[in-house]
Structure 1
Amino acid sequence: MPIKQSAGRIMTTNKFLNLYSHDFARVAVAIPKCRIADPAFNAAETIVLARQAEQQGAVLVAFPELGLSAYTCDDLFHQRALLDACEAALATVVEASATLSLAMIVGLPLRVGHQLFNCAVVIAGGRIQGIVPKSYLPNYGEFYEMRQFSPAENAAASQVELFGVSIPFGTGLLFEVSNLPLLKFHVEICEDVWVPIPPSSFAALAGASVLVNLSASNVVVGKAGYRHQLVAQQSARCLSAYLYTSAGKGESSTDLAWDGQGLIYENGELLAESERFLDDSHIIFADVDLERLSRERMRQTTFGQSVRRHAGEVARFETIRFELALPLDQALPLARSVERFPYVPADPKRRDERCTEVYNIQVQALVQRLSASKISKVVIGVSGGLDSTHALLVCAKAMDRLNLPRANILAYTMPGFATSDRTLLQARQLMQVVGATAAEIDIRPSCLQMLKDLGHPYAAGQDQFDITFENVQAGERTNHLFRLANFNNAIVIGTGDLSELALGWCTYGVGDHMSHYNVNASVPKTLISHLVRWVAETGAIGGQGSDVLLNVLSTEISPELVPGKAGAGSKPEQITENVIGPYELQDFNLYYILRYGFAPSKVAFLALSAWHDKTAGNWPNDAKVVRNQYDLAAIKRNLAIFLDRFFRTSQFKRSCVPNAPKVGSGGSLSPRGDWRAPSDSEATVWLDDLDNIPG
């Protein structure tokens, strides 16, 4: 049943589950087997692969350079019979495209005037949309292209007559799918991307989000790796997707060999790569996030400055628009891998590198703060929970870096009315194994005094566990820490993390919100969990420290401010994730809303793609990590919690947070850094978008 949207759109279940509804585009790179100087055979292979691409839901498929003729024809390119056959093959492909709902880019030699050009032809809807000649012709090593072809700059006209139709011709062409407007692509050919300033650089500034390279590219030792570097860097610099296709089986082996390497990158990230040296035709697919690319360009303001600086080059581009029959009436799930834990790499090697780097950033920042302030001691509250554990580890490493004794860490655990025996024991053990100067302060007497001064019912023996009861304990702990810092000429180290700040799950002005310096403020809960695990697994604190850290990791997250039903020291009744939702899901929401500003409907679509399958996600070899699964109802429910807390109720806490180092490109919530927002905004537009999701 259609669901009415506030923006006037109708979103059915199928439409919500369709990747094109969320500004993704499925693109393909095809590597057909070929026959040298047999255009009819090559056209047939091209059409077969194009149909396969359409069946998989792709809207764009790229084929190799000179694919209709084969690249290795050499002086055969000057034979009229071959050139006539290439044009006939092109006509066959154009005719076949009339029944296909995608754009094709094929390569062939093309006569224009009295010159021969190495061309890429863009075909869609039974017609040629435009023709792009190769700009840079290699004439070194094994390449002799200037013997047969003219470079693009030699062209005398911007239109060519072909099959009785006038067609745009030149390197300044952009192609836009008008019913998917973020899909605007540019085509260059092989050597064009190997030069210092590729034509695609200016095309990106002119608005192309997808850059396509039709290449032949013979293989020699080391070349495959260099192609990766080249394509990755071009896609990253241009904030674009980059499709690279090259010739495979069938090209001449007289002097060369061919590996058929196809690549699809998005902003420096590899999305798909073909297997090399295959005997058969093959095709690779990737779902490109067009909105992500657009938002990166919007966020990175120097991109716009580059557009202005190169206005002359940008102005020469012409946009050719055409529609495609997008498959919007069917569920088309995202084929792209979406990691459940965007802050924590799935690959173990990359995960270890990430943990090493984040840990060192935190340590370096604290070392600088202590050195600059000429203070040699820190005060930290240790609860036996996750955040204070990691902050304590950072303090220990900072003291080592400063050649100061770890005894300069003045660590205090302060049991209150709801402190469990488990966390109290863990706090004591942590302070001991780290080598801090450990102390224990029972805050219950001072809390009772304040409750008595307030006239609170608990002071008279009534079990009233309200917000005042909770915050009196949190406030007493913080008051002690700041006064202890004054007394010992030290600074208070904050422990609150990025996830808590995002959700407002911190008490204003107390330890998880306020400190002299907070080492955890831009580290999300899921990453802190892995940082602690990483320290445990590397044995960085020695002795029995690893066992203590693993015990902390297996402890349910709780503020421990309301006594358990079994009495003092028992398991707490308060479980944080029962109130604000699972951190693993809320960190996912935080990443895509903070980093990219995606609409809630898209975040939900991504979450469903990541979390609907128990076999998906990070840490596949880690038996200690529970693999959860969330259906759309659970995703919407928890996303609603996030949106309301993030946009409506919590900004006033983030507007006055203490100094803290930013650790990752995923963003921080410092009002001096990544996030500036009013403290009295509404969450209405985000919640309305969430309500538009069917089901």
Structure 2
Amino acid sequence: MDQFFSLYSHDFLRIAACVPRTRVADPDFAVDETLRLARKGNAESVAVMLFPELGLSSYAIDDLLLQDVLLDAVEAAIVRIAEASESLYPVLVVGAPLRREGRLFNTAVVIHRGVILGVVPKAYPPNYREFYERRHFAPGTGVTGVEIQVAGRTVPFGLDLLFRSNGSVPFTLGVEICEDIWVPQPPSTRAALAGAEVLLNLSASNITIGKADTRRLLCASHSSRTISAYAYSAAGPGESTTDLAWDGHAAIFEYGELLGETQRFPPDSTFVAADIDLGRLRQERMRVNTFGECAREELDGGQPFRTVFFPLDRPADTVSLQRRVERYPYVPADPSRLREDCYEAYNIQVQGLAKRLASTGLKRAVIGVSGGLDSTQALMVTTRAMDMIGLDRKNVLAYTLPGFATSDNTKSNAWALMDALGVTAEEIDIRPAARQMLADMGHPFAKGEAVYDVTFENVQAGLRTDYLFRLANRHGGLVVGTGDLSELGLGWCTYGVGDHMSHYNVNASVSKTLIQHLIRFVAGSGDVSEETAHVLSAILATEISPELVPPGATGTIQSTQEIVGPYALQDFNLFYLTRYGFRPSKIAFLAHHAWSDVERGAWPVDLPDGDRRAYSLAEIRRWLEVFLKRFFSNQFKRSTLPNGPKISSGGSLSPRGDWRAPSDSEAKVWLRELAESVPAE
């Protein structure tokens, strides 16, 4: 299973955007620098390497482009690159001026393993401001279904070309040149709709103040709109500076995200490589049905694409993933992004509850407060919702409902929080009612035996919910739920009661790893008193526990994460299973990359639950197996969820929204794939 550790076994593809140093109108020098970078990319197992527009001739050479001696030298340079590529792994895409039937075209030449696969012309040569390309080049628009002669070789030529690997690393390339991305309808849009997952832009793109940001915006938005990876490479050092300057900006984007870019104004040849997730792109294209609809409308009756096939297989050696994988997919590592996410999530929760209260006409909210993370966040949301609709916080009826395992710490935190927030607070001891129910059922605990089974636990969970709903009846209130996304994913909620049921659940799509940051956000927002902030800090430092089973002989409290697994890992598993539909082996591969080395990951903010650690592949495999079993066997709980607002693009588990699944599905296929594809050690 050595190949398990290779990125090419998990739908990843390493591509590079290159900026070779050049000399004006010197194809021999251009070939040397191109091959120098190509060999470096080969050593790093790069599959596709993109080079700048007209890189073999130089871009800013004006009428020298019409000199036969230069054009002949360019064709000879292409032959040299093709011959050298026989021993290289990557597909090479280089820029060159090429002649066809008395016209000159600005082209991209696609080369692999000694073969010139095809040539794509620039569709829209610009002729405005500093650009005068139409003086030299014919536009590529309308050029389809034809061939071109390149140094005596006949190869496909046109805007209708796709390049597809039919080897063990399958993917499809689309190519366009510079200005083509700046027009209202880039040619690569049709290529993406026809199946191209990787879009390449050979550019020259001189630099002016602010232009780099515009490039990023264009490429990021285009990759998002086409659900693709988009690589961009611009001319750099050595290009003519007669009237223009060049910053050598190369960058790679995936579905709107910048994966990497070169240092601008490089002193020498350079490239940026990134491992793009083809599996993610394919999942998104299947999921976003409007993408397929656009493809049908655009391609039906239009000019069909020609597909040029080439073989690209997995390297024999293990190729380690060089991509940043967030340990907390629901929690961004960037502090500014995290603050923005917390601001939006908190206000979505508040707005959702405020609307529900207003629509029902109810003036009171009923909530159980345990002193734990989930009920703390829900209570803060509820008080803020009351503020928003202009009602006194005393209309929040908050109850702490201690049971057989409730600790003094959580109980005192619950009371301190309720007092600090100024709600109507009461305590109802559920133990007498629980003893009576257990006695009525003939449970051993009622006879003095220390039997702490699921019945013992769920009697307490059920009574708490019974009390809250009946209190809501009595006071004309709405029961606010506290259960979170992570608990729903793991089925860590008692069906019909406990964290599962409410009139409206503000935490329904908030993960356990995010909820801690939401509490920190509110504590530091300035909207709460110093007393409240102090209580919140104490709650964050408390071990996550359902507190349904009394401490053992050593005084150890019941730990949720020892039963269902570390929430950090299980949130990771939940995200990639439900958001992208990844197979278990890929989820394990990503988790191993993110969690196997403490130094590799990013810690946005220290977590209170002790999950600042590394996990071995064996641990990852074990907890992923637990997750899969629990996730599938507990779908019936998710099929009957109360209402609650969707918080993030990571998705929710609402049967009316992101996740719809049968309650009686089997986990066998997923468990088998995990067992067969992930090494045990």
* TM-score normalised per structure 1: 0.96
Q: Could you say which residue in structure 1 is the equivalent of 2:17?
A: 29
Structure 2 distance, partners of 1:157, 1:378, is: 68
Percent of aligned positions with the same letter in both sequences?
56
- In structure 2, list runs of 5 or more residues that go unmatched: none
The amino acid across from 1:633 in the alignment is: A
Instruction: Mark the CA change 1:465 to 1:597 in structure 2 (over 3 Å): closer, same or farther.
Output: same
Structure 2 distance, partners of 1:151, 1:597, is: 42
Aligned counterparts, 1:127-276, within 5 A: 127-153=115-141, 155=143, 158-180=146-168, 182-276=170-264
Q: Could you say which residue in structure 2 is the equivalent of 1:46?
A: 34
Structure 2 distance, partners of 1:74, 1:308, is: 41
Report whether the alignment pairs 1:663 with 2:647: yes
Does structure 2 retain, via aligned residues, the 8 Å contact 1:125–1:324?
Answer: no
Instruction: Mark the CA change 1:419 to 1:74 in structure 2 (over 3 Å): closer, same or farther.
Output: same
Does structure 1 retain, via aligned residues, the 8 Å contact 2:21–2:237?
Answer: yes
3-state SS of paired residue (1:243):
strand
Aligned counterpart in structure 1 of residue 371 of structure 2, from 356, 370, 384: 384
The superposition leaves residues 273-316 of structure 1 with CA deviations (integer Å, 9 ceiling, x where unpaired) of 11001110001000000010000000000011101111247652
Structure 1 distance, partners of 2:301, 2:515, is: 47
Structure 1 distance, partners of 2:302, 2:398, is: 60
Aligned counterpart in structure 1 of residue 359 of structure 2, from 359, 372, 382: 372
Q: Could you say which residue in structure 2 is the equivalent of 1:598?
A: 582
Instruction: Mark the CA change 1:154 to 1:635 in structure 2 (over 3 Å): closer, same or farther.
Output: closer
Does structure 1 retain, via aligned residues, the 8 Å contact 2:566–2:611?
Answer: no
Does structure 1 retain, via aligned residues, the 8 Å contact 2:49–2:90?
Answer: yes
The superposition leaves residues 210-229 of structure 1 with CA deviations (integer Å, 9 ceiling, x where unpaired) of 00000000000110000000
The amino acid across from 1:58 in the alignment is: V
Structure 2 distance, partners of 1:313, 1:514, is: 53
Report whether the alignment pairs 1:466 with 2:453: yes
Count matched residues: 678
Query: How far 1:461 moved relative to its partner?
Result: 1.6
Q: Could you say which residue in structure 1 is the equivalent of 2:484?
A: 497
Instruction: Mark the CA change 1:290 to 1:143 in structure 2 (over 3 Å): closer, same or farther.
Output: same
Structure 2 distance, partners of 1:151, 1:345, is: 44
3-state SS of paired residue (1:116):
strand
The superposition leaves residues 386-419 of structure 1 with CA deviations (integer Å, 9 ceiling, x where unpaired) of 1000100110111111111111110000111110
Structure 2 distance, partners of 1:269, 1:406, is: 42
Query: How far 1:623 moved relative to its partner?
Result: 8.6
The amino acid across from 1:79 in the alignment is: Q
Query: How far 1:464 moved relative to its partner?
Result: 1.3
Q: Could you say which residue in structure 1 is the equivalent of 2:551?
A: 564
Aligned counterpart in structure 1 of residue 629 of structure 2, from 644, 661, 671: 644
Does structure 1 retain, via aligned residues, the 8 Å contact 2:396–2:423?
Answer: yes
Aligned counterpart in structure 1 of residue 278 of structure 2, from 290, 293, 305: 290
The amino acid across from 1:607 in the alignment is: A
Aligned counterpart in structure 2 of residue 573 of structure 1, from 557, 560, 582: 557
Report whether the alignment pairs 1:448 with 2:427: no
Aligned counterpart in structure 2 of residue 673 of structure 1, from 643, 657, 669: 657
3-state SS of paired residue (2:230):
strand
Q: Could you say which residue in structure 1 is the equivalent of 2:666?
A: 682
3-state SS of paired residue (2:495):
coil
The amino acid across from 2:675 in the alignment is: D
Structure 2 distance, partners of 1:101, 1:386, is: 52
Aligned counterpart in structure 1 of residue 405 of structure 2, from 407, 410, 418: 418
Query: How far 1:180 moved relative to its partner?
Result: 4.5
Structure 2 distance, partners of 1:657, 1:139, is: 59
The superposition leaves residues 27-71 of structure 1 with CA deviations (integer Å, 9 ceiling, x where unpaired) of 001100100110000011000001111111100000000000000
Aligned counterpart in structure 1 of residue 336 of structure 2, from 331, 336, 349: 349
Structure 2 distance, partners of 1:613, 1:694, is: 18
Structure 2 distance, partners of 1:691, 1:463, is: 38
Structure 2 distance, partners of 1:306, 1:112, is: 33
Instruction: Mark the CA change 1:266 to 1:673 in structure 2 (over 3 Å): closer, same or farther.
Output: same
Query: How far 1:537 moved relative to its partner?
Result: 2.6
Does structure 1 retain, via aligned residues, the 8 Å contact 2:170–2:312?
Answer: no
The superposition leaves residues 133-192 of structure 1 with CA deviations (integer Å, 9 ceiling, x where unpaired) of 000010000000000110113658611122333200001100011115641010000000
Does structure 2 retain, via aligned residues, the 8 Å contact 1:345–1:618?
Answer: no
3-state SS of paired residue (1:284):
strand
Structure 1 distance, partners of 2:328, 2:8, is: 24
Structure 1 distance, partners of 2:209, 2:606, is: 37
Structure 2 distance, partners of 1:687, 1:314, is: 44
Instruction: Mark the CA change 1:466 to 1:688 in structure 2 (over 3 Å): closer, same or farther.
Output: same
Report whether the alignment pairs 1:610 with 2:555: no
Query: How far 1:331 moved relative to its partner?
Result: 1.9
Does structure 1 retain, via aligned residues, the 8 Å contact 2:144–2:159?
Answer: no
- In structure 1, list runs of 5 or more residues that go unmatched: 1-11
Aligned counterparts, 1:114-129, within 5 A: 114-129=102-117
The amino acid across from 2:630 in the alignment is: R
Instruction: Mark the CA change 1:498 to 1:270 in structure 2 (over 3 Å): closer, same or farther.
Output: same
The amino acid across from 1:223 in the alignment is: K
Q: Could you say which residue in structure 1 is the equivalent of 2:345?
A: 358
The superposition leaves residues 316-346 of structure 1 with CA deviations (integer Å, 9 ceiling, x where unpaired) of 211111012431x322111000000000000
Aligned counterpart in structure 1 of residue 48 of structure 2, from 47, 60, 63: 60
Aligned counterpart in structure 1 of residue 569 of structure 2, from 585, 589, 592: 585
Does structure 1 retain, via aligned residues, the 8 Å contact 2:606–2:612?
Answer: no
Report whether the alignment pairs 1:107 with 2:92: no
Aligned counterpart in structure 2 of residue 337 of structure 1, from 324, 328, 346: 324
Structure 2 distance, partners of 1:94, 1:278, is: 27
Does structure 2 retain, via aligned residues, the 8 Å contact 1:562–1:572?
Answer: no
The amino acid across from 2:36 in the alignment is: V
Structure 1 runs of 4+ with >4 Å offset: 154-157, 620-626
Q: Could you say which residue in structure 1 is the equivalent of 2:70?
A: 82
Q: Could you say which residue in structure 1 is the equivalent of 2:470?
A: 483
Q: Give the aligned CA root-mean-square deviation in angstroms.
A: 1.4
The amino acid across from 2:665 in the alignment is: S
3-state SS of paired residue (2:613):
coil
